[in-house]
């Protein structure tokens, strides 16, 4: 009987101790779980924020790259359109541009005596193929008008340049003509000076005349 009572007391003691352990464990869990859940929630929120930041940066990078590509494409198209417009303007300018041959038909025809000296001895001039003569004011203005596509101004400047070249050519032809005429007069005078003259003395001439009369 005593043994049974002792065993019963021991079982009651063990059960009470196990209940105490469970209570202590539950208390510990109740004190630790809220902190653990809070840390996990904060960690999850931090991960979500980081993920959203990565996604946002990726979208911004893709958008920036797309904008750069669109700008480059738009710039290339503008350059192509500008080149095409410049080509058309240049072609139109060339169609309207006066050449020297066509421009001379608008001026008074030159006399044949002067026209003969136009372009004479031009093949004897020294030509430096490695250099170009510096452009004048009118030529620079013509280039500017061509770049701007101003056909009326370009045609007007082209006419002025053609007229300027025509006057210069006529002036050079007149100078060549005057030089040739002066040279001919000089050669004629030199030839006259070289002609031999008969040396007649008065007495010799009188004797020759008297002899011929006999």
Among the listed ranges 28-32, 49-53, 84-88, 137-141, which one has the minimum average pLDDT value? 28-32
Across 52-56, 115-119, 143-147, least confident range: 115-119
- pLDDT over 90 percentage in the chain: 0
- Residue 7 CA to chain centroid, in angstroms? 110
pLDDT of residue 132: 62
Across 193-212, average pLDDT: 60
Non-local (6+) Cβ contacts of 121 within 8 A are 176
Contacts by 82-88, CB closer than 8 A, 24 or more apart:
85/149, 86/147, 86/149
pLDDT above 70 (res 130): no
Tell me what the mean pLDDT of segment 182-202 comes to: 74
What confidence tens digit (pLDDT) does each residue in 147-184 have?
888 888 888 888 888 888 888 888 888 888 888 888 88
What is the tens place of the pLDDT at every residue in 60-97? 888 888 888 888 887 777 777 676 666 665 555 555 44
In the prediction, which pLDDT does 177 show? 84
> Which position has the token pair 């025509």?
166
Residues 6+ apart with CB under 8 A from 172: 117, 118
At 122 the pLDDT is 59
- CA 169 to each of CA 119, 124, 136, 212: distance values in angstroms, whole numbers, following the listed order: 8, 16, 17, 63
Q: Whole-model pTM above 0.85?
A: no
The whole-number pLDDT of residue 46 equals 80
Confidence (pLDDT) at 100: 38
The answer for residues whose C-beta is within 8 angstroms of residue 14's C-beta and 6 or more apart is none
Tell me: the pLDDT tens digits for 4-44?
A: 444 445 554 555 655 665 665 555 555 445 546 667 777 77
Domain boundaries, the chain: 97-119+135-193
Nearest to 157 by CA among 98, 83, 78, 75: 98
Query: Which residue has better confidence, 103 or 112?
Result: 112
Residue 157, Cβ neighbours under 10 Å: how many? 23
**Average of per-residue pLDDT values in the chain:** 69
On whether the CB atoms of residues 135 and 143 are closer than 8 A, the answer is yes
């Amino acid at each position: 009987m005593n043994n049974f009572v002792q065993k019963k007391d021991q079982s009651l003691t063990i059960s009470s101790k196990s209940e105490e352990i469970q209570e202590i464990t539950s208390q510990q869990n109740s004190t630790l779980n809220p902190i653990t859940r809070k840390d996990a929630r904060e960690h999850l929120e931090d991960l979500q924020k980081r993920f959203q930041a990565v996604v946002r940066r990726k979208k911004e990078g893709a958008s920036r790259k797309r904008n750069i590509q669109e700008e480059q494409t738009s710039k290339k198209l503008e350059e192509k359109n500008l080149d095409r417009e410049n080509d058309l303007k240049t072609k139109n300018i060339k169609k309207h541009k006066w050449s020297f041959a066509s421009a001379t038909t608008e001026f008074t025809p030159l006399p044949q005596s002067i026209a003969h000296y136009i372009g004479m001895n031009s093949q004897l001039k020294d030509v430096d193929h490695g250099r170009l003569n510096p452009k004048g004011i009118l030529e620079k203005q013509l280039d500017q008008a061509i770049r701007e596509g101003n056909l009326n101004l370009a045609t007007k400047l082209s006419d002025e340049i053609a007229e300027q070249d025509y006057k210069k050519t006529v002036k050079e032809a007149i100078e060549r003509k005057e030089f040739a005429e002066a040279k001919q007069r000089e050669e004629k005078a030199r030839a006259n000076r070289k002609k031999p003259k008969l040396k007649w003395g008065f007495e010799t001439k009188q004797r020759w005349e008297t002899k011929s009369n006999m």
